[in-house]
Amino acid sequence: MTNIDDRTSVGINPVAEILEALMRKHRLNQTDLAHRSGVSQPGINRILKERSKAKQPRRETLEKIAAVLGVTPDQLAGHEPIPARMLNRGVVPVLAWEDLLPDSSSRPGQRGWLACPVEHSDETFALPVLGDAMTGLDGYREGEILFIDPAVPPAHGRDVVVLNGTTALFRRLVVTPEGRFLTTLNPAWPTPIIQLPDEAVFCGTVIFSGRMR
């Protein structure tokens, strides 16, 4: 008996089943997927209904849909295996800090998958803590995994990841009448507080890291 652990074998999943599983993962209905991919809703509906047919969608159609769902056209077509974790709704991609930088398009978009134990949006991703700027009371350990949700608005007292030019920062947001500031949790950090630059971009808010945040 063959035991398939975390990968789907080539040829087992027809396009319709793979597509349906990925749509569940990303919480997309046919209309949503049509809007994002540029493939018509009737076209997507036709693919989902053709479970018992050998006919494959056109390559151009596969490419458009695959780009939205985070897989390759060959994975969507069942020609290449898909890690089963990519089909589970509760898992999120693990990124490296350099993946957040503006010139990261040539690097891998994810380094693995982890289950997020709390409610989160489809934009959520995971990052490891680097350095000791955020150690201390109510703080974090280096290597601890952060679950970061870009859909959660940054608010006073929340821990956030911010892109400032070519630098990605993990800090606590402090909002005062004088402005918005980023602070460390390590009191010995050389620059424990900086004013949030106007051009800074919020990458997301920490929602979990071993406990609710």
- What percent of the chain shows pLDDT beyond 90? 46
- CB atoms under 10 Å from CB of 21, counted, come to 19
At 19-59, the pLDDT tens digits run 888 888 888 899 999 999 999 999 999 888 876 555 678 89
* CA neighbor of 114 nearest in space, from 126, 129, 123, 122: 126
pLDDT tens digits, 71-107: 889 888 878 877 766 777 787 888 999 889 887 554 4
Beta bridge partners of 126: 94, 147
Please choose, from the candidates 72, 63, 75, 70, the residue with its C-alpha nearest in 3D space to the C-alpha of residue 38: 63
Q: Is 143 left (phi over 0), alpha (psi -120 to 50) or beta?
A: left
Q: What's the whole-model pTM score?
A: 0.64
Q: Hunting for tokens 């350990």 — which residue is that?
A: 141
Asked if pLDDT for residue 6 goes beyond 60, the answer is no
What are the backbone angles phi and psi of residue 195, rounded to the nearest 5°? -75, 140
User: What are the two backbone dihedrals, phi and then psi, of residue 181, each rounded to the nearest 5 degrees?
Assistant: -130, 155
Q: What is the DSSP letter of 164?
A: E
